[in-house]
Amino acid sequence: MTPLAAGEFRRTSLERSDQQVSWERPDQAFFAAGACHILAWACRDVYASHDVGLAALRSADEPYVFHTFATWGWWAFDHAGWNLESDLIAANAAYEDHAVSRVEIGVSLAEFCGEQAHRMPHEYWSDPVPRARAYVARFRPPWS
């Protein structure tokens, strides 16, 4: 899959206000905008034996990150599957039409959600973790 900017799947006002409507979006849209952090943590958990890391993108002068992804070497995993991290960053920067910075994540999911104003799994309409694990399984990892 080719890297696509997370912004291409931004939630509508209705999707932001109604968790069920947001939940009912196709998997790629759901994990691009609204649950990318859940997908990143699921990827790391699925491939715990491969030293998968976590990172995010932030726009200049913004307090919160806007897209979270898993990393492994030069690779990144997000809603578009495994792609070169540099390509993922470039796609998002081009879509946003400004520079973005990469932020390394070294805290727990709960700490991340608290710091970044993101939802924890229990705050979704339904548990997104099984859905995220199934989505991760659709993509062949770069080490296989």
The residue type found at 99 is A
Residue 14 lies in a domain: yes
User: Any bridge partners for residue 100, and if so which?
Assistant: 59
Average pLDDT of the chain, as a whole number: 94
Q: If you write DSSP's letter for every residue of 111-144 in order, what string do you get?
A: HHHHHHT---GGGSSS-HHHHHHHHHHTS--TT-
What's the average model confidence in pLDDT over 56-80? 95
- What is the residue range of 16's domain? 8-137
19, part of any domain: yes
Could you tell me if residue 142 is inside a domain? Answer: no
pTM above 0.85, yes or no: yes
Does 2 reside within a domain? no
Say which residue the tokens 């990318």 belong to.
36
- What domain count does the chain have? 1
Taking residues 58-65, what's their average pLDDT?
Answer: 91
Six token digits for residue 142: 């770069």
Confidence of residue 144 (pLDDT cuts 50, 70, 90): confident
Q: Residue 77 CA to chain centroid, in angstroms?
A: 8
